[in-house]
A = this chain, B = another copy of it.
Amino acid sequence: MEEREISKAVVKRLPRYYRYLGNLLDARVERISSNELSEMMNVTASQIRQDLNNFGGFGQQGYGYNVKYLYTEIGKILGLDHAYNMIIVGAGNLGQALANYVKFEKRGFWIKGLFDVNPRLRGMAVRGIEIRMIEELPQFIRENQIQIAALTLPASGAEEVTPILVENGVKAIWNFAHTDLHVPSGVVVESVHLSESLMQLSYNLNHMELEKEKTGQR
């Protein structure tokens, strides 16, 4: 398959397809038409056909998509067909929430260690994952071939720890800190900025209300 031809816009939508197809699989649905999927996902059927035709496996007219095939192919594109070793740096509530989320392991993201600067947390464990001190990071990353690090610590800490992660071989950073991390090429960053998401919500809340006032609905 020519993976490289899939557009960025399609890639952004893939995890959502993957979620719906996974739910269908769990419900033992074998085939689904683009119209049915369209109704479930609230996306036009023609958008779905365009998107999913990237992966072949599109059924004959009136026969629908093979759910399992599509689910597997999309999983491969997303890199979910193999396992990753992951650490979480920052063992506060958010770090612990991620460590407790067993679904990540089902997808192949194995959480090998939790790190923090707080010496009071040393030796404690979350779901069997021991909390270690930041000083142990370099050796741990190398010995456990860690590819992914989730950063759930304040911005200044995230900026300090990033070069240490990169020098020791981490290739992907899942950043929850309220800052944009600078990494060399060959390292990818995906950020989850919670405050910014909340601001989008308040924007939408306010502008919906403005519209209502204008049109006189209440």
Interface residues of A (CB under 8 A from B): 3-4, 11-12, 14-16, 18-19, 41-42, 77-80, 84, 92-94, 96-98, 100-101, 103-104, 107, 109, 147-148, 171-172, 174, 178, 180, 186, 188, 190, 192-210, 212, 217
A-B contact pairs, 11 of them (CB 8 A): A11-B203, A15-B199, A77-B203, A92-B100, A93-B94, A107-B198, A109-B198, A147-B205, A171-B209, A188-B208, A192-B197
Known contacts A190-B200, A190-B204; 8 additional CB pairs below 8 A are A12-B200, A14-B199, A79-B202, A80-B202, A93-B93, A171-B208, A188-B201, A192-B197
Q: Looking at chain A's contact residues, is the secondary structure mostly helix, strand, loop, or mixed? A: helix
Nearest residue (CB) in B for A77 is B203
Given A171-B205, A188-B205, A199-B78, A100 contacting B93 (CB threshold 8 A) = yes
- Report the separation of the CA atoms of residues A210 and B18 in the bound assembly, to the nearest whole angstrom: 22
Q: How far is the CB of A52 from chain B (nearest CB, A)?
A: 17
Q: Which residues of B sit under 8 angstroms from A96, Cβ to Cβ?
A: 93
- What residue of chain B has the Cβ atom nearest to residue A76's Cβ? B206
CA distance A78 to B208 in the complex (A): 12
Are the CB atoms of B94 and A204 closer together than 8 Å?
no
Bound CA span A153–B14, Å: 24
